[in-house]
Structure 1
Amino acid sequence: MERLEKQPSLRRLDYHYIAMQAGFWAMFAAIVAYQTALLLERGFTNSQAGLMTAVRCLAGIVCQPLLGGFADRHPDLPLKRIVTLSLVLSVAAGAWYWLSPGMGLWETTLVWVVIGGLEVSSYPLMDAMAVQFINEGKPIRYSLGRGVGSLAYAVVCVLLGFQAGRLGMESTLVTHLTLVVVEILLVATYPAFRGNARRLGEEGAKPQSALSLLRSNPQFTLMLAGVFLGLTGIMPLSNFLVNIVTSRGGSEADLGVALFLMGAFELPTAFFFQPLLRRLGSGKLLLLSMVFGTLKGVLLLLTTSCLGVLLVQPIQVLGYGLFTPASVYFVNESVPQADRVRGQTVMMVASNGLGGMMGGVLAGWTLDLGGANLMLAACIISGCAGAALCLAALRLGRHSRRAS
């Protein structure tokens, strides 16, 4: 039986994972942050752009549980191989997208199915690559890696804003392809986990199906429902930020600055996340992220200028900046060890998957119906409902602990 001492040093695991996080969020920014702007430039309507956002998220909803379930059923197959193959296939789709600027709705839909289903959906497996080592006593600084990833997202966003203004929006696709290739190299060279937790034939609980996991853990299920509604209201604030910026008199360069500030203010979360986690717990941090994410929508609705949009972005530090690390720790604490890979994928499905899909549909419909202000009002309503369900989940958890 292989033992954990064969694993590489903590320093290598730590810094390599931080680089991998930075690479993922850089390539994510290059394709997702400018998805709506690129589609609008190619002649699509707001509703069609919203539909493509929904398609991307729906593909993730389908693929993430499949990839997570496959990983749980094949514990001897390193996660990095699954992620690497997913990214290679996404590169092929991205190259076709770049080489065919005049492609129609159906071809564009297929491209976003592949990107959403394989490229974006690889993230929970990357999370699991770190969590495997964390669970075996390797204190990888996940929150710092996520913070550096946010900084990489911010830097790429602002650079691409200037690049789009100088070379055109289509040029962002070349940058995206380059960054995906870099990320493939980072993932492929990350050390494979060989600890006892992923050995077949061990005694212990077997992985559950996603449905069984939800039925057996009502607090987790209720929290997922809250996250879904919360992210439905929060995701359009970034995915359709171009509409908010232009409605306040801004330009493509202003969009790049707004995206930079949004990502940059997620970085400080990395430095105070662990003290907050010890003091409040992951569940309360999830609730806090829903509250501040919704408050961001309220403040954006009150703005009347592009400068106001920029001044609102620092609230991201307690909004989406808290959400990702808090959600990872919440899953790790709330589900059995055998289901943690699947649990991470289910969380991603509920948040960036279902939440992003419904947020895209909601944003596209409300933008065409009444503009940016109507979209923001709808986002606020959804965010408030999500925060209420997250609060109910925390109370359910307290009642369950008292009863036991």
Structure 2
Amino acid sequence: MREREINLKYIVLQGLYWMLYCVGAGFISFYLQGNRFNNSLIGIVTAIFCLIAVILQPIAGNICDRIEVLTWKRLIIILSIPYIIICIMMLLIKNHWTVAILFGLMYIITSIYLPLINSALFAYEKEGISINFGLARGCGSATYAILALVIGNLALNHGTNIIPVGGLIMIVLFLAIVIMMPATKKVTTKRDEERTNVIQFIEKYPYFSLMVLAVLFMFFSHNIVATYLLQIVQSLGGNSSNLGKAMFIQAVVEIPVLFTFSYIMKKIRVESLMIIAALGYVLKAVMYFSSVNIAMIYITQLSQICSFAILAAASVYFTGMVVDHKDQTTGQAFMSGMVSAGTVLGSLFGGAIIDHMGMRAMLTVNIFITVVGLFIAVCSVRLIRGRKKCEGV
């Protein structure tokens, strides 16, 4: 009974988190464009705050691993206070640069939440409670899809204010379920066994770090499109409503993969799934390049099935497989930090390329990025399998 209850609450936790993420990250370009930022400035502003998120995610994860009294649950509750204040200030302040800074802070906090709720999965499993992560993450995609469609349509009538209002509603609901989640115990270590710091972590897990680099390129591709999806849609004659529909489609098609991910892992090794995800991003990049109207953009969103849908779950389990339990929060922070790192690269390069060379050039560069990510992922998996053979595993 307790396992079923925790699974249900974890499903709701993932669902509300991805609704929160939809508000704080899914409409970056819409929000900044609505506050008089051009493509290059959108890229620079987004990149700055994503870079801060990249730096803070592993640091926050490592602090959570190293400080005994600071659990994933307590850190989320602490960070919810500034998030609420930021949303209220975004409604009251009209200066576009100040509002952009506040939006960036909202994004940073949202990003830090992700490794914390992912590490909660392994914290519960350490206590003997089996969590169906695929089902929970699939529900996250479903709620993301619904909210993307709602916000995309509401934005036509209510403008950018829909973002902080949506953020306030989502953070209150998210905080409520976090408080309701049972507390988990920290992993204790012997006195002579020190926790691994960030630098030691990279040295301790070189093959994992190589896969993290591959994931960086995958999310580089993911975010160079996601950040400027509005501009892609507009270049084909669409608007924010079409953006919301495109986001709805790509989130909905993830659901079957994520719901059945536990079964998929029984058939395909998790490291092989990482390679499949990399191949999926190559396919997705080619399809975006080939799109000539809104209908083709909608069709392209179906490629989410073999790209992000697989990566979203496989990366979490890959980290759980390669990284020791006592370093899990740090490992999850490094992996999820690639979302923000990819947004940094995607924002900077995407905006500059669109403004100076055009949309076609940006979509061409995107194909090259995915090929590099695929190559690194293959190298990482071959090295990991070679090491296992040497160790006789």
Partner of 1:9: 2
Indicate conservation of the 8 Å contact 1:265/1:317, yes or no.
Answer: yes
Partner of 1:23: 16
Any residues of structure 2 matched to 1:4-403 within 5 Å, and which?
9-104=2-97, 107-108=98-99, 110-194=101-185, 198-200=186-188, 202=190, 205-349=193-337, 351-403=338-390
Distance in structure 2 (CA, Å) of the matches to 1:300 and 1:152: 25
Deviations along 1:45-90, one digit per CA (max 9) or x if unpaired, are 1011112221231121121122111111123333211011112212
Partner of 1:5: none
Deviations along 1:170-228, one digit per CA (max 9) or x if unpaired, are 2232122211111111112211113xxx2546478542122212212221111111111
Indicate conservation of the 8 Å contact 2:20/2:110, yes or no.
Answer: no
Distance in structure 2 (CA, Å) of the matches to 1:372 and 1:131: 42
The alpha carbon displacement at 1:275 in A equals 2.3
Distance in structure 2 (CA, Å) of the matches to 1:66 and 1:140: 26
Distance in structure 1 (CA, Å) of the matches to 2:173 and 2:59: 25
Indicate conservation of the 8 Å contact 1:59/1:113, yes or no.
Answer: no
Distance in structure 2 (CA, Å) of the matches to 1:343 and 1:98: 36
* Contiguous gaps of at least 5 residues in structure 1: 1-7
Distance in structure 1 (CA, Å) of the matches to 2:272 and 2:193: 28
Indicate conservation of the 8 Å contact 1:151/1:267, yes or no.
Answer: yes
Distance in structure 2 (CA, Å) of the matches to 1:109 and 1:162: 22
The alpha carbon displacement at 1:390 in A equals 0.3
Distance in structure 1 (CA, Å) of the matches to 2:223 and 2:369: 11
CA RMSD of aligned residues (A): 1.7
Distance in structure 1 (CA, Å) of the matches to 2:288 and 2:8: 36
Percent identity reads 23
Distance in structure 2 (CA, Å) of the matches to 1:336 and 1:214: 13
What secondary structure is seen at the aligned counterpart in 1 of 2:160? coil
Whichever residue aligns with residue 400 of structure 1, its letter is R
Deviations along 1:321-341, one digit per CA (max 9) or x if unpaired, are 111211110111001121111
Distance in structure 1 (CA, Å) of the matches to 2:381 and 2:188: 35
The alpha carbon displacement at 1:41 in A equals 1.5
Q: Quick check: 9-18 or 92-101, which moved more?
A: 92-101
What secondary structure is seen at the aligned counterpart in 1 of 2:254? coil
Q: Quick check: 359-368 or 151-160, which moved more?
A: 359-368
Indicate conservation of the 8 Å contact 1:10/1:138, yes or no.
Answer: yes
What secondary structure is seen at the aligned counterpart in 2 of 1:235? helix
What secondary structure is seen at the aligned counterpart in 2 of 1:267? helix
Whichever residue aligns with residue 11 of structure 1, its letter is R
Whichever residue aligns with residue 135 of structure 1, its letter is K
Q: Post-superposition, which runs of at least 4 consecutive aligned residues in structure 1 deviate over 6 A?
A: none
Distance in structure 2 (CA, Å) of the matches to 1:317 and 1:356: 21
The alpha carbon displacement at 1:272 in A equals 2.5
What secondary structure is seen at the aligned counterpart in 1 of 2:96? coil
Indicate conservation of the 8 Å contact 2:40/2:352, yes or no.
Answer: yes
